[in-house]
Amino acid sequence: MPPRSPKTAIVLAAGLGKRMLPITATMPKPLVKVGGRSLIDFALDRLAEAGIETVVVNVHHFADMLEDHLRTRKMPHIVVSDERAEVLETGGGVRKALPLLGDGPFITFNSDSMWIEGREPNLRRLVSAWDPDRMDILMLVAPLSTSVGYEGRGDFSMDPDGRLRRRRGDEERVPFVYAGVAIVKPELVADTPEGPFSANLFYDRAIAKDRLYGLQLDGQWLHVGEPQAIPVAEECLAASLR
């Protein structure tokens, strides 16, 4: 029987990082440092703290540089999914890595997802809240009102039981934004086509069955999408340590 709780994860680290130019003209975005630590190390540290045993990292942009950095890590155990030949986008990257992720639920983690923890580590909260009998995907979502560096209108509204609904149209404003981390059932991925596509395909499949759920982040989400967001995030991190 496959495990009910996630034991593996994929860190999505193959993107071109165009919004982070000119920094990403010479390095992959996951190696951009915030407060002296690279974005991907924040992600890998969170996963290791949550007890995730194996983490797949997909690589494309400056792949050799990123692989060299990953070799310096001792925990967690890292497996590379090589996407040098083609940019596969978020969904295609997960699809290619599926044989490395096993037959149980797994965590997807955007390599630029950062947050300041609240009272309890959010990944542990996410794993504890995961209920495969009700859910196909459980997303970590951040309150729009307290997120830093994000200027959009939000992604989802959430029912009292945690079920998510997408924002309707460009004008609607909704209270939650996807924080870049989710638990996903492999069945949503297994029959998708090979090649590039967005992970929105997985989310839409879960929504169609009323099985997309969210967990509100406890703490503060830091959206580090552009160079000017780095000093803002660093200021928030420093303030949280005072």
> Does pLDDT of 242 surpass 90?
no
Which CATH number fits the domain 8-240, given the four candidates 3.30.160.270, 1.10.760.10, 3.90.550.10, 2.120.10.80? Answer: 3.90.550.10
| pLDDT (0 to 100) of residue 135 | 97
Kindly report, residue by residue over 177-206, the tens digit of the pLDDT.
Answer: 999 999 999 999 988 988 999 999 999 999
> Does pLDDT of 4 surpass 90?
no
Q: What are the extents of the domains in the chain?
A: 8-240
User: Helix/strand/coil (H, E, C) string of the chain?
Assistant: CCCCCCCEEEEECCCCCHHHCCHHHCCCHHHCEECCEEHHHHHHHHHHHCCCCEEEEEECCCHHHHHHHHCCCCCCEEEEEECCCCCCHHHHHHHHHHHHHCCCCEEEEECCEEEEECCCCHHHHHHHHCCCCCCCEEEEEEEHHHCECCCCCCCEEECCCCEEEECCCCCCCCCEEEEEEEEECCHHHHCCCCCCCCCHHHHHHHHHCCCEEEEECCEEEEECCCCCHHHHHHHHHHHHCC
Closest residue by Cα to residue 88 from 55, 58, 54, 57? 58
> Does pLDDT of 149 surpass 90?
no
In angstroms and rounded to an integer, the radius of gyration of the C-alpha atoms of the chain is 17
Kindly report, residue by residue over 50-70, the tens digit of the pLDDT.
Answer: 999 899 999 999 999 999 999
| pLDDT (0 to 100) of residue 2 | 64
